[in-house]
Each structure stands twice: as structure tokens, then as C-alpha cells.
Structure 1
């Protein structure tokens, strides 16, 4: 009898909780509770289910079947929110091999135990839904005997190169791996996490913790984040002048990052490095910081505003990594692409090597609306048309 392909799934149910409420992550035991008290909604399970939906769609097309339950695949997972709930949402049967103790919150220890139990079943690929902290837990759990893995991006910051560019892309990669195993090679991908010491010095950079084997499917698996570089003052000053001219008298929402912070400084304002800030611009006046390190609800209450973002160095992500406060609702309320300013020095743009700027807002319709070529402000009255894609 032919052995069914086995996909493992482990979900960190609190991954990404802190994004839209401005917490910057949910590492530790207290942040998830704080995020929930602020109105955060869990998203990891739904994003994992979207991955499985895309996986079964792709495999179903290859197998010539129309219903997910008829797709020839076995999903091995953990109980409840650690995986089985997502499998059920995707309409698939599951083999549950781990359950957390009843009556307590899940933890990093549960993630590690679930990973070991799932991998012990001999899975062909382990999907894990989370962020960089979850990737570190997976790395530690696998130890010296790693199996092929792929991250479903559900966290706030995902600097590691073990993640697909979106949940649906993860499904595409998983289908390619199990259906054409001999044609898709593995590569060792970096497990990274934010360097808190560098952050305290005003730099956004990452620390390397190790490597995990990931199916090498170009464009669908993300690159690692590269550290911030010294930006020419002239370029930043020119970008700032162009932004001020475009915004005129109005509100400017600044996404996180070293480029946007440098632009704020050139305008005469002190912005945070990892948060989302709001500036009030008036012709001939010094900008005023209206709100600092804000959450989605504050942005929704602002009214009309311009949104200025800079892509993540090396990865090219414009939306969906570290700036989830700027949600689909916020983007639509601001006017979508018409009020979106993309800021990037020519040096940072050229380092992408022609790869597109990436979108992962969690709203497929909005991602489609935003996709296509968009002007990127690279200096004073200097723009480059560059492609946005998912």
C-alpha cells in the first residue's frame, strides 16, 4: 500500500496577537494576556488554516479530486489551538499526537513538545505557524535531527528566512515539496530574532540562532532581514522634502524602521524606531508628534491621513511585517494606494536585486488592489516605479 504524504502542523496560538494593538510581539507569558485585554484577536489559527486550504487545493488539482477530504494526505498535529482546530477549519482529518494540559495557557514548552511528537511520526514536512520566537522554539526542539520545515508567517516580526512570504505561499511550497520531492531541493535557512541590545542603541538588526532545512522555492520563501545601513543624509533629506511637499498641511502616519525614523528627524521630529507614529505637518512649521507608538484603533480614529512606509532591508516587505497596526481597515480608511507613500533610498532598493516589494496584509482583496507598480520616493522629486506583489 502506498504511504500517504505526511504534513506536520504546530501552531503558536498567541503569535501575532500584539501586532494590531501596538505591543510589538507576544514573547513571554504576560504580553498575550495584555494583548487580549486590549481587544486583540487571535489570527494564527486562521492563517494556518489558509495554508492548509491552499495546500489541499494544489494537491487536489494534481490528484484530480474536488473535495479536501479526498486529497491523499495525512496531517499530523497537536490538539486544539496548537493545530487541530486549524486542520478542522480546513476541512481535513487530523492525527493528534500531543495535547497540552487542560486548564492552562499553552507555552513555548508546549510548542517544543508538540514539535517533537509530530516529527516523531515521520512527517515529510513540518509546518509551524508563528514568528521568530516560535522559529527559535522549533530549532531548539529539533536539536541535531531536523526534518524539513516551513514557517507560516503569523507573528509580528519575522526576520528569519524559514518563513513563506504569506500563508497561501506556504501552501504552495508545501504542495510542491510533497508532490515533487525530487525536483525541489532543501536549503539551510537562517533562524533570526531581533537583537535587543542593538535596538537599545537605535539600530534594527537581528541575531543568528541557527539554521533549519527549508524547501527552496524562489519568490515564495522569504529572505532574511539584513541589518540597517548608514543612510546618506542627502538622500534622506531629499525624501523628507518630497514627503512634506506631498502631504502639505495634514497628518502623516510613519511606519517603523530606521529609514522612516531618519526621515522624521530630517523633518524635525523624533519618531520611534519600532512603533507607528503620527505627525501633524504644517507649511513653514516644525512637525508636531500627535501620537507615538500607536495601535490600530488610534489610527482608525484619526480620519484622513497619509501613510509613509519603508520596506524591510533584504526582505522587501512593505506591509505585514512589524507594522500590523496599519491594518487593512486603516489602509482603506486612509484611501488605499492613493495615500500610500513608499520611502526608500536607491541603495536599499537596488539591494533587492529586482525582487518585488512584498504585501501580506491578511486581506487578499486589498493585496490585489495594492499590487502593481507604485512610485517609490528615493529623493527630492525623485521616484522609481517599483513592483508591489504578494
Structure 2
């Protein structure tokens, strides 16, 4: 039997769609729920377990009761051992650490955990480099390199382990940012440690890279080209990132570095909006709508990391042909041929958004580059 430790942070990523840029802390969690946010971690961990459902007679899980792991394991049909329960409801960081400690005592082969960078930090504090782990990405900010590209990608890595494939176990960095500073438009990321992770270049996401001064100069060319392509009486949904922020600054607008802004006729009509606010604007706007997004350096994600305000329903209304992707050439070259990635929390939509897409990489410079479904790796 393959002994699988299972830890779920059921509230990971709760603040994404409502523009809170994180879910750490009970106050933020309560505010996110008050704004109408819906938990998505349980759905995503179940998508991972579904990939290995044919191996349920070969896998036994060790987890905490309820939505910290038991519910997902039983729903997938695995032999489930409940070894404890959360002391707080809803569960918190202390419960995650307690689950990791007790699971370690079961001598499991791998700990599968669902959460964001904050969850990875907690796992690193308890596990260190003594136990292989693998993360299912559920958070808003995903700087760490211990997560699969998507829930299904985590399932594919597990499938390789279960079928006896040779899978290297490597050290990957755990990074996290100051969420309070992040909400104020400041990115303060730091290294917290390393975890042992089964490596697969197709399915494991990379650590997020910061830009360089040279990148910023190239971004100016990208910004100018995007400005030249703006159309009158068109509503633009401008996603987060340094490239898109510089584009707004070149228009003489401040905007929000880490939020979604709305642009119409070169004027900012709303800043740092939530998914609900975007939908309300779309309902009241009768003209064409387009979206401007950029890629996360090193990882290549264009949807599903830091811009969860773009929900599947919004993306369907905009349509993939109305999405502008802007990224300096150096950011694309750093991917070493790996595709840009989408992880919208809707597998069918992810597949639909795949294929070769135009990417603005400089002034009067647009390339065709593959956009891949995160669970399939390189296409």
C-alpha cells in the first residue's frame, strides 16, 4: 500500500476573487466570506485525487477529520485513517501544523497538501527536509516551487509514483510574502526554507522570479505597443503585475500594482475591483470588452495566480480572442520553451484557452507562443 498523508487548508485562496489578495488570518477570512467568497480548496484537492482514483485499492490516506482531509479522501474512495481533528472551527494554522506532526509519525510515503504559500511555510516548519511532500495550488499568491501547476498536474505526479516510474526528489524553495504590504501594493517576498518534492518539469511549477532593471526597460516598449493598440469606447480589464502597471503609468494613470483595474477611453474608471464588481460593470456596459494580462516571471501562469478576480464566468464573457497577453521578450525566453499556463479552476475552460496565442513582447513586436493547460505540462 502507498501511504499518503493528506492535509487540506479548506480556506486557502478564499480572498482571491473578492480582491483581498490573500487569505491569511481570521479577520481576512471573515471579511472574504462576508464579501461572498466561496472556498475552492476542497474542490481542487478532489480533482487531484480523481486522477488516481483507479489506484484506490493501492492507496491508504492518513488525515485529520472533516474538511481537513477526511471528506476528500472518502469522496475519492480511498482507505482512510483519521488520526486527529482540528481544535478550532474553522481550522487554523495550528491545526495544519498539528496534522503535519501526526502524519509524520505514520511514516507516510508522501504528504499531499492543499493550500497556498502560507500553508507551505507551515509544512516546512514541521516537516523540513525529512519527508517528501507535494502541494496542490489553492492560494492567491503562489511564489513557492513546491506546488504542481494545477490540481490534475499533482495527480499526474502521484500517478507516476504509483506506477513505479523513476521520479527524482529534489529540494524546492518555499517563499511567502507579507500580505498586509501586498494589499498596499508592495511585494515583500522572502525565502523561508526548502521542502523535498517529487520533480517533474512538466507538472511542477517554478519559483516566481523577480524582474530586473533591464526587464523594466523592455517593459516600456511593451507598454507603448499596447497603448498604440487601445481602441476607443472599449472597456479594458487590466490585470495585476509590474508590466500592466507600467502600461497604466505610461498612460498617466496610477492604477493598482496588484489588483484589477478598469480602463475606458484612456481613463481609469475603477481600481482594485473584485469579481462581483467586474460582473456588475459588464452588465452595465454595452460596448466591446477586452482584457490585458501578463505572465508571472519564472512560472509562466497568465491566469489563476494572483488574478482570481477573473473568474471562469468573466473569462467566458470576455472570450479568449479578446485577451491581450503582454510580456517582455526576456520573460518569455526565461521559460526555456515551456508554455504559458492557465489554471482558472475550471478544467474545461483551461483546455479551451490552450493553443498558440499572440503575445506582445516589444514595440511593433508580437510573437505566437503556446498556452498550455496546466495539468498537461508542455503541449
TM over 0.5: yes
- Give the aligned partner of residue 382 of structure 1: 365
The C-alpha deviation readout for 1:143-164, integer Å capped at 9, x for no partner, is: 4x62100000011111100000
- Give the aligned partner of residue 96 of structure 1: 82
The reply to whether residue 76 of structure 1 matches residue 62 of structure 2 is: yes
The reply to whether residue 263 of structure 1 matches residue 247 of structure 2 is: yes
Q: 1:351 to 1:141 in 2, by over 3 A?
A: same
Quote the Cα distance in structure 2 between the aligned partners of 1:119 and 1:171: 21
Q: How big is the shift at 1:142?
A: 1.6
- Give the aligned partner of residue 159 of structure 1: 143
Q: Once structures 1 and 2 are overlaid, which stretch shifts more, 73-82 or 129-138?
A: 73-82
Question: Which of these residues, 84, 99, 108, is aligned with residue 123 of structure 1?
Answer: 108
The C-alpha deviation readout for 1:313-354, integer Å capped at 9, x for no partner, is: 0111111111000111111111x2111000001111111111
Quote the Cα distance in structure 1 between the aligned partners of 2:44 and 2:164: 24
The reply to whether residue 227 of structure 1 matches residue 210 of structure 2 is: yes
Q: 1:109 to 1:379 in 2, by over 3 A?
A: same
> For 1:180-191, what aligned pairs fall within 5 Å after superposition?
180=164, 183-191=166-174
Quote the Cα distance in structure 2 between the aligned partners of 1:195 and 1:114: 24
The reply to whether residue 44 of structure 1 matches residue 27 of structure 2 is: no
Quote the Cα distance in structure 2 between the aligned partners of 1:272 and 1:306: 18
The reply to whether residue 324 of structure 1 matches residue 298 of structure 2 is: no
The reply to whether residue 362 of structure 1 matches residue 354 of structure 2 is: no
Runs of 4+ in 1 over 4 A off after TM superposition: 195-203, 231-234
Quote the Cα distance in structure 2 between the aligned partners of 1:200 and 1:50: 30
CA RMSD across the alignment = 2.0
Q: TM-score, normalised by structure 2?
A: 0.92
Q: 1:196 to 1:13 in 2, by over 3 A?
A: closer
Q: How many residues align?
A: 367
CA contact (8 A) 1:204 1:258 kept: no
Q: TM-score, normalised by structure 1?
A: 0.89
Q: 1:208 to 1:234 in 2, by over 3 A?
A: closer
Q: How big is the shift at 1:309?
A: 0.7
Unaligned runs of 5+ in 2: 283-287, 374-379
- Give the aligned partner of residue 254 of structure 1: 238
Question: Which of these residues, 141, 165, 188, is aligned with residue 126 of structure 2?
Answer: 141
The reply to whether residue 106 of structure 1 matches residue 85 of structure 2 is: no
Q: How big is the shift at 1:209?
A: 0.5
The C-alpha deviation readout for 1:84-119, integer Å capped at 9, x for no partner, is: 1111222333111110136x3211000000111112
